[in-house]
Structure 1
Amino acid sequence: MKALGKILGLFFLGLLLIIVALLFALTHLFDPNDYKDEIRQIAHDKANLDLQLKGDIGWSLFPWLGLELTDATLASADTPDKPFADLRLIGLSVRVMPLLRKEVQMSDIRIDGLNLNLQRDDKGHGNWEGVGRPTETTMAQQSPGEPAPSEDTPAEQPGEKTAGQPLKLDIDSLSLSNSRIDYSDAQKGQQFTLENIELKTGAIREGASIPLKLSAFFGTNQPVLRARSEVEGQLRFDRALKRYQLEDLKLAGEVSGEPLKGKTLNFSAQGQLLVDLAANIAEWNSLKLSANQLRALGELKARELDKDAKLSGGLSIAPLNLREFLDGIGVELPKTRDANSLNQFVLVSRLNGSSNGMMLEDLTLKLDGSTFTGSLGVADFARQALRADLKGDTLNLDGYLPPETKDKAAAARQAEVKDSISSAGKDGSTPLPNAPTQQAWSDDKVLPVDQLRKLDLQLALSLGQLTFDQQPFTDVTLKANGRGGLITLQDVRGKLQGGSFSGNGRIDVRQAEPMLSVEKRLSRMPVEPFLKKDGQPAPIRGLLDLDAKFNTRGNSQKAWVEALNGTASFVLNDGVLVDANLEQQLCRGIATLNRKAMSNPPTGKDTPFRELKGSLSVRNGVAHNPDMKAQIPGLAVSGKGDLDLRVLGIDYQVGITIEGDQREMPDPACQVNERYVGIEWPLRCRGPLELGAKACRLDQDGLGKIAARLAGNKLTEKLEEKLGDKVSPELKDALKGLFNR
C-alpha cells in the first residue's frame, strides 16, 4: 500500500508538472500576435467590424486569464475607411476557476486613450451603423438546415440569461482615463464633444456600494457652450430586480458660452438617486441645488419611464436677488423705474409635468413684498404654451415699468403747456390761449410683436391691490387668452377710491400692423388721479360714468392715438372746475353790460357743478362732442366742440344761461334783471387740456350780439309804454321782432 501510495503521489506530481509545463508553453511559446489576421477575420464575419490591431497583444492564462490590447482601431465593415473608435490601451484579467462556477472575478480593468468619433453624414447614415450583425458572406455560408436569424427572432443580448443562474460580477476596480467622445451630425450641423473623461471606481460587486468618481468636459456648437462637471457617489445595483441606486450623489461644475453671454454659471447638486426599471420609476430625493447665488431644496419623481415619463415633486428656492442672479447668467433685464425691483424672490411649489411641459402648482411666490399663490408654468414647450392662475395680495407695477424718458417732442410740448399756463392768468382776463401744436405721445415701439405671434397664453390673475401710475386699484381681476397672434382680454375689473371699472379688449398681431380694440365701462370713477400730471393740479374733479368702445392700430402711443376711432358716452357727477370761477367771469360780463364796477367780487376759486354729461365721436384721434350739458349752481351750461387727443388740446364753444349772483349779499353790478332771463352767455375754450376751465374766455363777438339784443329789448319796452293799448297785439309782435333781430 505504501508503494501504491508513493506511486500515485509521483503520478499526480508528474501530472501537475506536465500541466504547469503546458501552461508555460502556452503562455511563452504560443504568441497570440501570430493570429491577428484570424482575429480580424472573426470580427469581420461575426460582428461586421473592421478591427485593426497595430500594437501587441499581451495575455496570461492561469490563475488569471488576462488580456492586454494596445493601439487598436474599430470601424464598421461597411465603411472601413471611417473608424469610429481608437484605443491606446485596454487591460483586464479574469480568475479561471470562478468562471467554472459562473462567477466573474476580475482584477482592475484599465482603459486608456479611448476615442469615439461618431459621425452622421448628410444622408443621415452613421459611421457606426452595421456593427454587430454578421456579414452577408457569413449568412450565405450557413448550413442549409440551420435557420437564419430573422427580424422576428430576437438576437441574444450580451449578458442575457440563457440557462441556470446569472453570472456574478466581482471586479476589483474600473478606470477610464484620457478618453474622448465626439459626435457630429452633417444634416443638422451639430457637434457634441465629451473630452478628458476620467472614471475611477472601487470594487464592483452586485448588491454592494461601489464608490465612483467621474469628470469630463462637455462642448457643443449650437449654441456654442462649454461645461465642466464632476460626479461622485456610491453606486448600488441589482440586475435581477433591475434596480439601480446612486447614493450620496455630489455633482459640481461650471458652464459658459453663448447663452450666458460671456458669464459663467457655477452649479452643484446633491441627493439620493434611484432608478427602478421593473417599476418604471426614478427618484431624486433629498435634492440640494445651487447655481451661483441660487439655493434650492426639493425632490423629483418620474414614473412611466417606458412611455412619456411623468414628473412630479417639490421645489423650494431660498431668498434670492433675482436681478443679480439673472445678470450673472447673461440675462439682460430692461431698466426699471425702481432700481431695487426683483431684488427679493422666494418660491415654494409642487412640480407636475412631462417631457412636453412643466407646471408649478400649489405655488407660493414672493416678489419684492408681493405674495402670489396659485399655478404657473409651460403646458407645452414646443408651442410656448404659458399657463398662469395667480392670486396676489399687492403689486406695485410702477416699479417694473421702463424709466420715464422725455424726447425732444415731449420737451417741446411741456414747454408749450407751461407757456399757456403762465399766460392764462388767474381771472380769465387774458387773451384766449392758442391751440396746442406739439405732439403729446411717444413714438417708441410698445408691443413685442414677434413674441406675441408665437404666444399661447391662458392667464387668470386677481390682486387685492394694484398700484399703477401711482394709483391704488383694488380687487383687480384679469382673464386673458392668446394664441396664433390674437390676444383676448376677456374680463378686466377693479375699483379705485370708491369707483369701479370693467372692460374687455383684443390685440391682433396676425397681420403686419397690429390692431387693437377695447370696450370699457367706468362707474363713479374719480378723474382727478388721472388728470394730475407733472406736479400740476388736476383741472377738474368729479366721479365719472363712462361707456366707451374704441379701436386703433399701430405699435406706439403716437400711432394708437392718431388712428383712434370709436364712440363714448359720459356723465361726470359732483364735479369741480379747479382754480377757475366761471361765476366771476360771467359776473364781470354782466357788470360790463350794466356799465357798473364790481364792488363785492366772488371769493371762491373753483366752480362746482352737479352733473356734466355728453357723448363723444372719435375719428382719427379727434373726439367731437356735440351735446355737452352741465348743471352748475346759478348756471345752466351747454356746449359743443372738439378734443384733439393727438396734442391734448380743446376747442369748445360753451353757452351759459345764468341766474345771477346768488350770494346773500349779491354784487349790485352783476344782479340779473328780467332782461337777462333766458339769455345764453357765450364762452370759448381753447388751449392745452391741462388748463381746464382756465382755457375759457367770454366770447367778445357773442357778447356784442347779446348787448345788441338787450338794446333792442329795451327799445321794445319803451314802445310798449308809449303805445299802451292803442295798437293791436299783432303790431306789437312785429315791432318786437324788428328790434330783436
Structure 2
Amino acid sequence: MRSTGTSRGVAVRRFANPQYGVACMKRTFRILLAVVGVLLALIIVAIIALPLLFDPNDYKAQINAAIERQIGREVDISGDIGLSVFPWLGLELGRVDVANAEGFGDEPMAQMNAAQISVKLLPLLSRDIEVGTVSLDGLRLRLARNDEGRSNWADISEHIAEGQDQAAEEEQTDAPEDSEDESGFTLESLQIGAIDIQDAAVSWQDATTGADYRLTDVTLSTGRLVDGEPVRLEFSGDVAAPAEKFAAEFNLITRIEPNIAEQFYRFSDLSLNVLANGEAVPNGQQQATLGGNGEFDAAEGRLKLSGVSLQAAGLNVTGSMDGTGLNAEPSYSGRVTVKRFDPRSVMRELAIEAPATQDSDALSSAGFDAQFTANNDSVQFKQVLATLDASSLKGSAGVENFDNPAATFDLDLDELNVDDYLPPGSAEQAQTEKPPETGGGQEQKEAEIDLSALKDLRLDGKLSAGSLTAANINVTNAELTVKARDGVLTIEPLTADLYEGNVRVSARVDASRDTPRYALKGNLNGLQFQPLLKDVADTERVGALANMNIDVTTAGKQVASMKRALNGTFGFDLRDGAFNGFNLAQVIASARSRLSGDGAPENGSGIGDSETTPFNRFAASFNVVDGVMAGRDLNLVTRVLEASGSGSYDLGKNALDYTVNATVPENASGKLSELAGLTVPITLTGNLMSPSYSLDVKSALRGAAEKRLQDEKAQLENKVREKLEERGAEVDGEVRDRIKQGLQRLFGGQKDAAPANENTDSSPDAQ
C-alpha cells in the first residue's frame, strides 16, 4: 500500500513538472510524424508502383463500352493507353476511331492518332487545377449532311441529350434540397500549360447544296493559359473547296487575354496571312493580310474592333467597329476607309481588263471613307467621301430591308467629266454618226430596252453636281431627285444651269406594265444655242438666245416604237440670233438673177461658211401625234424679210416636210427691190440634221409679173378714165349748144345757115 502511494506521488510530481510534459509531447509528435512519414512513403510508393502494377490497356473493352453508352456510337481504341500518377496525373491515348452514322460511309466520323493530357496532383488539394500541355495529333473529323438534311452527328447529340435529361431527373430525386456544389473547382482556378494540336483535318460535305469544304494540315499552339493573363496563339492550315477550284493557305497569330469570370476576352496584334490559289482565284493566286485588335464581352453582347487593316489586290482598307446587342438585337457602328489606290492596278491584280478611255489618265486614283451603322436588316453610310481622279462625292447613302432592299442617298458631286471614261472616239462618233435611214425601207430589227431592273428597284435619293459633262455637254449646279417603287421610276425635278441658261425637267418611266410607258416634261430658258450645238454636233449653224418647252409621252419596248408612239407638244423661241452658212436674202436674189438670165450675182449664191442670216426672232410650236410633229405657226423675222411656215416632221422615218414662206417687205431695196412685197416659198425636205431645200422663185417672179401687169393695167385704166372725164365735160357743152340750135330751128328761132362742115365733123374730139 505504501509503495503504491509512493508510485502515485512520483507520477504526480512528474506530470506536474513542465519539462517532463514537453518531453512527452515531443516524443508523441515524433511518433505521429513517423507514422505520417510512413504513410506518405507508402502512398508515394503506391503512386509510383500503380502504373507498374496497373495496366489500363487491360480495361479497353470496359472503356470502349462506357464511351459507347455515352455517345451511342461504336468506338475503337486500337492504340495503347498510358497512365502516369505522380507528380502529374497523366493520360496518353493512341489511335481512337469513332464510327460514322449509318448511311454516311465506312470511314470513321472522328479519329485521332495520339492524345495526351496531365493534371498536377498537389494543387488539387487546394482546389486548383493545373493542367500540363494538352496535345492532340492526327485528328480527323468528317462532318456531313445527307440529302434529307440530317447530319452525321445528330444521333450523338440526341443520345447525349437523353442521358443528360435522365441524369438530371435522378439528381433531383436523390439530392437533398439544401445540397450545393461544394467541389470548389472553378474555371478561374484552371491553368493549362499549353495546347498543341498537330496534323488535324476537318471536312464538310453537304448533299443538299453540293458543298464540299476541307480544312487540312491544321496546327494550333498556345502558350500558358491562365485566366486574366495574355497568351500567344498561333493557328495555321490549308482550306480547299474542290468544286469551286479554290484552295488557300492561312496563318493566324495573335495574343488573347481571357477573363472567364466576367466572360470578357481581348485580343491584340492579330495578324492573318492568306495565300489563295486555284482557277477561281484571279490570276491564279492572291495574297491577303488582315490585322487588328478587339474586345468581346459575352455577358454584355458587345464586340469592339479597332485598328483593323486589310491589304489585298493593291487595296489597303482600314476601319473600326463597335457591335452591341449581340445577344438580342445586334447593331453595329464604325468607320471604313479605303486608302488611295490605282484602279487600273487593282483591276490587273483581279484579272479584270481595264477599259480604254478617252482620257488616258482616267481611272488612275480612287479612294473611299465613311462612317456606318448597321443591323440585321439595314446599313447606313454617313459622312461619305468617295474620290475618283479629280472628282469627289460627299453625302450619305443606305439600304433598308435586305429581303426587299430600298436604297436611299443624298449625295453631292463636285465635278465629273463622264466623257473621259468613255471609249476613245465615242464622243466624235456621236457627233458625226448619221441617224439610220428608215424611211421607205424595211425597219431594222432592234433589241428591246431591258427595264427588268426597275421591277424590284426601290430608290429614294437626291444628287447634286457642281459641274457635270456628258456627251460633250456641260451643266453646272445640277440637282436631281429620283424615286423608284413598284416598277415606276420618277425624276422630279432635274434642274441645272447650262450655257448661260437653265433647265427644269421631270421624267417618268413606268415599267410595271407589259409595254413600258414614258413621260417627259421640261422647260429651257435663256440658253445660248450656238455653243450648245458646237459641243453636241460640232456645228455653229444657229446662234441665238433660246427658250424651249416640251411635254410628251410615249410607250414601247424599242426606240423605233417609242418614236411612233410619241404624243404631246414641243416649242421653241429663238431671239437675237443668226443662221450661219447661208444668207437667205442673197439666196433669193441669186435665184431671181438666174431666172431672169442675168447670171450669178456678184455677191455670190448666198451659200458658204462666211454667209449668215441674222434674225430678230425665230419661233414655232408643234403638236406631236403618233410620232409626227406638225406645226403651222413658224415665225421668222429678219432685218430684210419675214417668214411664216407650216409642215411636219416624222420622227419614225426621220422625214422632214416643211414649207417656209419668205415675204419681202414693200420697202425692200437693193437686190430684193424687184421682189418687194412678194412671198418666196422655201421647201425643206429630207433628213432633219441635213435637210434639202428649194426656193420657188419662178412662182414669185410670175406673181410679181402678174402683179406688175395688174398695176400697169390699173394705171392705164385710171389715165383713160381721167382723160374721158376731162373730154366728157367739153363734149357735154357742145351737145348742149347744138340741141339748143336745133330747137330754135324747130320752133322758129334763128334761121342762120349752119356751118358748112358741121354735119361732117368727125374729129376725134367731136367723136
TM over 0.5: yes
> Which aligned pairs between 1:15-414 and structure 2 lie closer than 5 A?
15-75=39-99, 83-132=108-157, 134=159, 165-220=186-241, 224-256=245-277, 260-262=281-283, 264-331=285-352, 335-404=356-425, 413=434
The one-letter amino acid paired with 1:234 is R
Structure 1's 471 and 61: CA in aligned 2 closer, same or farther, altered over 3 A?
A: same
| Letter of the structure 2 residue corresponding to residue 176 of structure 1 | I
Task: Read off the aligned partner of 2:465 and give its amino acid letter.
Answer: L
CA displacement at 1:299 relative to structure 2: 1.6
Post-superposition offset of 1:45: 2.9
Q: 1:552 to 1:195 in 2, by over 3 A?
A: farther
317-326 or 535-544, which deviates more: 535-544
8 Å CA contact 2:300–2:327 kept in 1: the answer is: no
1:633 is aligned, of 628, 635, 639, to 639
Give ranges in structure 2 of 5+ residues lacking alignment.
Answer: 1-23, 175-179, 726-767
Asked whether 1:613 is paired with 2:619, we answer yes
Correspondence for 1:569 among 563, 568, 571: 571
Task: Kindly indicate whether the alpha-carbon contact (under 8 Å) linking 2:438 and 2:652 is maintained by their aligned counterparts in 1.
Answer: no
Structure 1 match to 2:649: 643
Flag the 1:593–1:81 CA change in 2: closer, same or farther, 3 A: closer
1:28 Cα shift?
2.2
Which stretch of structure 1 is more off in the superposition, 565-574 or 78-87? 78-87
Change (3 A) 1:336 1:625: farther
Whether the aligned pair in 1 keeps the contact of 2:431 and 2:538 (CA below 8 Å) is no
Q: How does 1:522-533 map to 2 (within 5 A)?
A: 522-532=524-534
Moved more, 603-612 or 62-71: 603-612
Question: Matched residue of 1:131: which SS?
Answer: helix
Provide Cα deviations, 1:557-590, integer angstroms capped at 9, x if missing partner: 5565455443212222223111111111223355
Q: Aligned in 2, Cα 1:65/1:725: closer, same or farther, shift over 3 Å? A: farther
8 Å contact 1:121–1:185 — kept in the other structure? yes
- For the 8 Å contact 1:110–1:176, the answer to whether it is kept is yes
Cα offset for 1:302?
Answer: 1.1
**How many angstroms does 1:177 deviate by?**
1.7
Distance 1:207 1:520, change over 3 A: same
* More off after superposition, 332-341 vs 289-298: 332-341
Q: CA deviation at 1:329?
A: 2.6
Shift of 1:711: 5.4
* Residue 707 of structure 2: aligned partner: 710
- Counterpart of 2:548 in structure 1: which amino acid? L
Where 1:689 maps in the other structure, the secondary structure is coil
Q: How does 1:460-539 map to 2 (within 5 A)?
A: 460-510=462-512, 514-532=516-534, 536-539=538-541
Contact 2:371–2:382, Cα closer than 8 Å, also in 1: yes
Name which of structure 1's ranges 114-123 and 219-228 shifts more when overlaid on structure 2.
219-228
The answer as to whether partners of 1:139 and 1:148 remain within 8 angstroms in 2 is no
Distance 1:480 1:535, change over 3 A: closer
CA shift in 2, pair 1:148/1:686, >3 Å: farther
Residues 598 and 670 in structure 1, CA contact (< 8 A), matched pair in contact too: no
Q: Which residue of 1 aligns with 2:694?
A: 697
| Whole-Å separation in 2 of the counterparts to 1:661 and 1:330 | 76
Query: 1:466 Cα deviation (Å)?
Result: 0.8
The residue matched to 1:606 in structure 2 has which SS?
strand
Q: Kindly tell me: are residues 537 and 231 of structure 1, through their superposed partners in 2, closer, same or farther at Cα, counting changes over 3 Å?
A: same
2:630 alignment partner, one of 612, 617, 624: 624
1:259-300 superposed Cα distances (whole Å, 9 cap, x missing partner): 655454422122211111222211111223222211233322
Cα distance change on mapping 1:413 and 1:398 into 2, 3 Å: closer
On the 8 A contact 1:50/1:77 being kept in 2, the answer is no
Q: For residues 187 and 114 of structure 1, what CA distance do their matches in structure 2 show?
A: 26
Equivalence for 2:581: 579
Larger deviation, residues 18-27 vs 516-525: 18-27
One-letter identity of the residue aligned with 1:699: D
Q: Which moved more, 1:334-343 or 1:682-691?
A: 334-343
Match of 1:123, SS? coil
- The farther-off stretch of 14-23 and 318-327 is 14-23
Match of 2:546 in 1: 544
Give the TM-score normalised by structure 2.
0.79
Query: What amino acid is the match of 2:65?
Result: Q
Distance 2:105 2:213 in 1: 22
Counterpart of 1:681?
680
* Cα 1:266–1:373 shift into 2, 3 Å: same
Cα separation, 1, equivalents of 2:452 and 2:278? 25
Report the structure, 1 or 2, having the larger helix content: 2
Distance 2:430 2:318 in 1: 52
C-alpha change, 1:390 and 1:613, in structure 2 (3 Å) is same
Identify the range of structure 1 (500-509 vs 220-229) with the bigger mean alpha-carbon deviation: 220-229
Using the TM superposition, name which of 323-332 and 103-112 deviates more.
323-332
> How far did residue 638 of structure 1 move?
1.0
Percent identity among equivalent residues?
25
Once the two structures are TM-superposed, the CA of residue 343 in structure 1 deviates from its matched residue by 1.5
**1:371-424, Cα deviation, whole Å (9 max, x unpaired):** 22111344444445433211122111112334556999999949x9xxxxxxxx
Alpha-carbon distance change, 619 to 312 in structure 1, aligned in 2, over 3 angstroms: same
Q: 1:598 to 1:348 in 2, by over 3 A?
A: same
Q: What is the Cα deviation at residue 489 of structure 1?
A: 1.6
Change (3 A) 1:210 1:650: same
Name the counterpart of 1:736. Answer: none
One-letter identity of the residue aligned with 1:720: E
After TM superposition, the score normalised by the length of structure 1 is 0.82
Structure 1 unaligned residues grouped into runs of 5+: 150-155, 417-434, 729-741
| Bigger Rg, structure 1 or 2 | 2
Cross-structure match for 1:720 = 717
Confirm or deny: 8 A CA contact 1:199 1:213 kept in the other structure. yes
